[in-house]
Amino acid sequence: MARLRRARAAVSGFLNVRKPAGVTSHHCVAVVRKIFNTTEVGHAGTLDPMATGVLVMAMGRATKFLQYLVSDKEYRGVVRFGVTTSTDDITGDMLSERPAPWLTEETVSSQLPKFIGAIDQIPPKVSALKRDGKRYYELARANKDFDVKPRRVQIHGIDLLQFTGGEFPEATIDVSCGAGTYIRSIAREWGEGLLLPSSTEYVGGTLVSLERTRSGSFAFEDSLEFDTIRSQLEAGESPVCPIEDGVRHLPCVFLSNEAVDRWFKGGVVRLREQEVQSSLSLPFEALTHEMTLRIYDPTARFLGVSQVEQLHPSRKFILRKRAFIE
């Protein structure tokens, strides 16, 4: 038990949790807080209660770095056609049933290209988005009538893995997308694009299951169930990833000891091209305003991240906004 308490003490880093079905993301945060005996816990993107898979947790100083993680995500979902629900997934109230045994794999796959790229997506009415200070799901549960505004999202790709025909056909898909994308909305809009024979009515669709298979650099195969996390801590092992692991996608720069001292003290750090040309991981010309860089000291110790500001024609730049690992 003493070993477990030591493992919990002052922990900072990322935890790749394998969320189970039937619980909220907030509940998972509460479980992690209890396991590690800390209140400083956040996560990198909500999963609906029915969904499973990767839920990246940040603890301690890592909560300051959530905004710097890769926001792209990957999902595997099953869509059922011929059914619509109040939540756009199988947990909601049934709104309509329209058997569609005539649907084929070719018919449903022909609709997928319209979802690829930057699209305007209408979020589900039962969601955590806000309107006039109220969550959508609060308005929906109060039977309030309200319009849902489209949101611009980025979908990199959708692969149809399996199609199962029948009275209510189902399709299994892999989706790669940017932050803020609702797979439930894809299910609904996919079904709305399929019309009944000789009719203007649509078939409809709803999401039956969903698993997040990747969140940024955190993959499903590396995710841990709560029991595994507890077991590793009991064995004196750490299930927590260093903060640095979550931001390795960012370019980096090595600072001199003098610049490190100024950076830590919150002072202005001005860097000329000749000072960093051998320690910058990308060409000086590739630097852009507000680009985030990993910061290292001369001994290659990771210190945190900082944003580029005020690029000058005289081949120098300033580091201002920063997040420290300590």
Catalytic residue among 48, 222, 245, 261: 48
| Alpha helix ranges (H) inside 143-282 | 183-192, 226-234, 243-246, 257-264, 273-276
Rg (CA), the chain: 24
Q: What is the dihedral sign for C-alpha 299, 303, 304, 310?
A: negative
Pairing of strands 292-296, 269-272: unpaired
Cα–Cα nearest to 313, from 277, 252, 263, 272: 272
Give the single-character DSSP code of 65: G
Give the single-character DSSP code of 242: P
Q: Has 261 been annotated as catalytic?
A: no
Tokens coding 212: 């997040």
Is residue 141 within 8 A of residue 93, CB to CB? The reply is no
* DSSP letters for 101-163: TT--HHHHHTTGGGGSEEEEE---SSSS-EETTEEHHHHHHTT-------EEEEEEEEEEEEE
**C-alpha distances in angstroms, 103 versus 81, 163, 167, 228?**
9, 10, 9, 43
Active site residues: 48
